[in-house]
Amino acid sequence: MLDDPLAAPRRFDSVERARIEYSPRASKTAREIYSTEGVLFVRGAKNSFKAMFSQLNETLAKWTFWWSLDSMTGPSGEKWLNWLYRLSGKLPPYYGFACSVDEYEAKHKVVEADEAGSSIQMSGVSSADFQRFLPGIYWLTIFGKDLADHFDPELHSLPEARRVRIPPSQVAVLLDSPVVPESMDERLRTEARLAKILGAQYFFDHARAEGEYALVPQLARAMREAASE
């Protein structure tokens, strides 16, 4: 999936510099790095593409992709969406999302000030958090089979959004607006409305108290089963 003209992989490694030259025959080396280091970076030659694969623990992995915002305008934007849909079909995630960096920071960045100055951290997106709630609803949100089954039939009738089925058993919710909205505040309000329809207690929100969260039952069961294996 990475060996695609959109990403045009050029280098990979266990560090972000990605010093090893990519070739179609290098997949074995990449697998060995991921297996031993628990992390793999891939850098592409186009669209500022970068990928980070990280094994958070024995049962949970996080895959993150970045590419230039400019490439999400016009026909190339649809190509990137289709690439994500194909990837999710071949290697189904339990949950996934896509958005601009600005939207991500608006939802999760926390600035804390004290006598020594200020510090910036991201909240609601750690592996420990994922075992308590889902990070949120975004411009694009992908629900794996268990989550799609739980949130059905609400996923069929969400306002201001388009439902996209990803075979064999996943559902993507795409907002009916550009990846970068005219008003970020309105974008966050829209996403909060969708989360409320699905069950606000399942999704991270800065305004929600710790005790007001709940884990989707299917996800809780999957976490317990994985921990007992």
Domain-wise residue ranges, the chain: 98-228
Reported confidence tier of residue 73, pLDDT bands at 50, 70, 90: confident
Instruction: Say if residue 217 is exposed, middle or buried (CB neighbours under 10 Å; 0-12, 13-18, 19+).
Output: exposed
State residue 16's pLDDT score.
Answer: 94
pLDDT at 117 over 80: no
Average pLDDT across the chain, whole number: 92
Reported confidence tier of residue 225, pLDDT bands at 50, 70, 90: confident
Q: What is the mean pLDDT of residues 13-26?
A: 92
Residue 93's H or E segment, with its range, is: none
Could you tell me how far CA 19 lies from the centroid of its own chain?
26
Of 12-16, 106-110, 207-211, the least confident: 207-211
% of the chain exceeding 90 in pLDDT: 75
Looking only at the bridges linking them, the beta strands covering 109-114 and 117-122 are: antiparallel
| DSSP per-residue codes, 26-90 | GHHHHHHHHHHHSEEEEEESSTT-EEEEEE-SSS-EEEEEE--GGGGSTHHHHHHHHHHHHHHHH
Looking only at the bridges linking them, the beta strands covering 39-44 and 9-13 are: antiparallel
Helix, strand, coil share (%) of the chain residues, nearest 5: 40, 25, 35
State residue 150's pLDDT score.
Answer: 96
State residue 114's pLDDT score.
Answer: 65
Closest Cα partner for 123 from 137, 138, 106?
106
pTM passes above 0.85: yes
State residue 229's pLDDT score.
Answer: 64
State residue 32's pLDDT score.
Answer: 95
CA–CA gap between residue 205 and residue 29 (Å, rounded) = 40
State residue 221's pLDDT score.
Answer: 87
Q: What is the mean pLDDT of residues 12-28?
A: 92
| DSSP per-residue codes, 131-142 | TTSB----SEEE
Give the Å distances, CA to CA, from 131 to 60, 82, 213. Answer: 10, 29, 11
CA–CA gap between residue 187 and residue 199 (Å, rounded) = 18
% of the chain exceeding 70 in pLDDT: 96
CA–CA gap between residue 113 and residue 76 (Å, rounded) = 41
State residue 219's pLDDT score.
Answer: 87
What are the CB-based long-range contacts (under 8 Å, 24+) for 188-192?
A: 188/106, 188/107, 190/160, 191/107, 191/136, 191/137, 191/138, 192/137
CA–CA gap between residue 218 and residue 32 (Å, rounded) = 32
Q: What is the pLDDT of residues 141-199, one digit of tens each?
A: 999 999 999 999 999 989 999 999 999 999 999 999 999 999 999 999 999 999 999 99
State residue 112's pLDDT score.
Answer: 72
